[in-house]
Chains A and B, each alone.
Chain A
């Protein structure tokens, strides 16, 4: 059976035959919507899904494939739209912080106090937006360093340093909980 065309091939062909961009939508709309929903909530995600792909359509002539999938490129466009919705994101994180107490922790973390997730989301809210973006592309969109670099059009080294900074900030918040919630002295 003939293999399906790659994202890069479809995008290149779509410059002359724009309808083929529909296949890019088919392949990736659920992922993009999922990321938008996690960052901004369902309502804004519903609105921005079409906008993300419409902007991608317009930018497809400049697309340079660096990975097998164009997912990082699409998520980068979504991230740009999210950046225009800081208040929406703030509301979403506030809601997530309230809900976090009911979170079922993954196996192996049963002993953690229920407040930990809420505290972590609180710290997430305090992160610099560009650090938070890198962290959430990694944790929520499951992009690797090179893919995040492509998404945000920044060097891989910058991705590493932002991710390191963001995780250090979160870990500082978690340290007391992870050691039983007791402060020395």
Chain B
């Protein structure tokens, strides 16, 4: 190694290992992006005859063996579905919020929009929902015994009334947050809105949590963004940023 590269080599060593962002951070970022997409188009604008655009709150491609998925509780509807592009125990895929039609209907719509695989805009002939026991439901582009082949159990391909109320509430809340100063909302206002929505949605016993506190010495972060788990809505601290 040439000595005149020493400065760069030490800097590179200081860079540390590459690691994907934690699952929660990734989901929050994706939710923010897709809420901005939704806000840009407007919630009621027709989209080339396909009806009103749906709020795609979270779309994340995942390395599904990633540690982030170990933290999900089994069959958590708030963890959404993972539309896999291949049949494997650790497939590639797109994570998306569960829609009221159930896991395979959710993924079929995303396939048709070219969001699961930009190279094709049609849903696979067969889609099967499987439960990995890790929270999110996997939807594979295959039929038959695909769940057994990848070591999972068949998952229910429908949503309950409570889940449908949650799905509707999540869409309303994300949309409301994005309309309030571009997604920057004070904790008090955010908490009040979440409380109203939980009541309206008849989701009894749900908690409203505050995200992890800022690290010691960090500036207080006055704004809140949302993070959903089944049974709780977390207001996560964030700072306001301005564009370039």
Contacts and interface: CB of A to CB of B under 8 A. Distances in A.
B115 A50 contact: no
A74 to B, nearest CB: 12
B156 interface: no
A46 B14 contact: no
B9 interface: yes
A39 to B, nearest CB: 10
Task: Pick the most buried of B41, B217, B239: most chain A CB atoms within 10 A of its CB.
Answer: B239
A14 to B, nearest CB: 9
Size bracket of the A interface: 35 or more
A87 B239 CA distance: 14
A55 B7 contact: no
Interface in B1-31: 1, 3-4, 6-16, 18-22, 24-26, 28-31
Contact of B13 (A51, A104, A171): A104
Interface residues of B, number: 56
Given A80-B244, A171-B4, A178-B6, A53 B33 contact: yes
A57 B1 contact: no
Contacts of B238: 47
| Chain A contact residues, majority secondary structure | helix
B115 A108 contact: no
B167 interface: no
A50 B29 contact: yes
Contacts of B40: 18, 57
Contact of A55 (B26, B59, B113, B243): B243
A156 interface: no
B175 interface: no
A68 interface: no
B32 A139 contact: no
Contacts of B24: 46
Given A55-B244, A178-B6, A43 B215 contact: yes
B7 A120 contact: yes
Nearest to B19: A34
B9 A117 contact: no
B41 A105 contact: no
B34 A96 contact: no
B94 A49 contact: no
Interface of B: 1, 3-4, 6-16, 18-22, 24-26, 28-34, 36-37, 40-41, 56, 59-61, 94, 113-115, 118-119, 214-215, 217-219, 221, 225, 238-239, 241-244
10 contacts: A2-B119, A19-B34, A22-B33, A22-B94, A26-B94, A34-B18, A49-B21, A80-B244, A103-B10, A140-B11
Task: List the 4 closest A-B pairs by CB distance, nearest first.
Answer: A50-B32, A50-B29, A26-B61, A46-B25
